C-alpha cells in the first residue's frame, strides 16, 4: 500500500490499517519515548498517548512530510510535554514544602531511574549522570541531542521532526555537545 493510500485509509477511520500502523511504529515510537523518558512504564504510557494523538489528529495531517516523520514529531512533543508536567509537579511540591504544607518533596531527580535498553554503559551511575547532564540542557539542545545521539536520527530526520533548519540543528548540536562536555568534565574532576 502506498503512503497516500495508507493515509487515506487512516483518515477514513479504517481500524485494520490503524492497527497496522501501530504494529509498524510501536517499537520505534517506544524507542523515541524511552530516549527522552528513561522509565519503562512512563515511556510506554507516553507511546500510547502518541498513537491516540495520531488517531485523533490524522484528519489534520496535511502530507507536508512523511507519515513517519509526523508520528515522530508527535512522539517528541508528547515526551517534552510529559517532562514539563513532571517538572511542574516537582516545583509545586517544592513550593508547598517552603510554605510549610506537609507535601513530601521528592529529593531525587526524575531522571535518576534509568532503564534505557539502548545505551550500553559499564555502570548505571555513569548513565544516570549523563542523563542528568542531558536534562540540564536548554530544551532545543536537549531535543536535537537526544534525537541524534540516543535515538540515532539523522540530521535530515531531525530537521523534519523539529521543523528547524539544518544549520540550526547543527548549531544546537554543537552547543549541546560543548555544554555537555563542560558539565561532565566538571563532574568527573570533582568525582576524582
Which tens digit of pLDDT belongs to each residue from 97-115?
444 444 443 433 444 444 5
Q: Smallest Cα–Cα separation from 79: which of 106, 50, 108?
A: 50
Q: Smallest Cα–Cα separation from 63: which of 108, 123, 3?
A: 3
Report CA Rg, the chain.
19
Q: HSE-up of 176 (CA within 13 Å, CB side)? A: 25
To the nearest whole number, what is the mean pLDDT of the chain? 81
Domains of the chain listed by start with CATH number: 1-113 (1.10.1740.10), 119-192 (1.10.10.10)
pTM (global) more than 0.75: no
Are 52 and 127 in contact by the 8 Å Cβ rule? The answer is no
Amino acid at each position: 500500500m502506498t503512503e497516500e493510500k495508507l493515509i487515506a485509509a487512516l483518515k477514513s477511520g479504517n481500524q485494520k490499517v490503524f492497527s497496522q500502523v501501530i504494529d509498524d511504529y510501536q517499537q520505534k515510537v517506544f524507542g523515541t519515548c524511552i530516549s527522552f523518558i528513561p522509565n519503562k512504564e512512563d515511556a510506554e504510557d507516553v507511546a500510547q498517548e502518541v498513537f491516540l494523538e495520531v488517531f485523533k489528529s490524522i484528519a489534520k495531517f496535511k502530507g507536508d512530510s512523511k507519515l513517519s516523520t509526523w508520528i515522530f514529531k508527535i512522539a517528541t512533543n508528547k515526551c517534552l510535554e510529559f517532562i514539563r508536567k513532571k517538572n511542574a509537579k516537582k516545583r509545586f511540591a517544592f513550593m508547598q514544602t517552603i510554605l510549610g504544607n506537609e507535601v513530601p518533596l521528592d529529593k531525587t531527580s526524575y531522571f535518576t531511574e534509568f532503564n534505557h535498553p539502548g545505551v550500553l554503559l559499564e555502570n548505571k551511575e555513569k548513565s544516570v549522570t549523563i542523563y542528568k547532564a542531558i536534562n540540564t540542557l536548554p530544551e532545543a539542545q536537549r531535543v536535537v541531542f537526544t534525537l541524534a545521539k540516543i535515538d540515532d536520527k539523522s540530521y535530515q530526520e531531525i530537521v523534519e521532526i523539529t521543523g528547524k533548519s539544518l544549520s540550526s540543528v547543527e548549531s544546537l548540536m554543537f552547543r549541546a555537545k560543548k555544554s555537555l562536555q563542560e558539565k561532565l568534565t566538571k563532574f568527573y574532576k570533582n568525582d576524582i
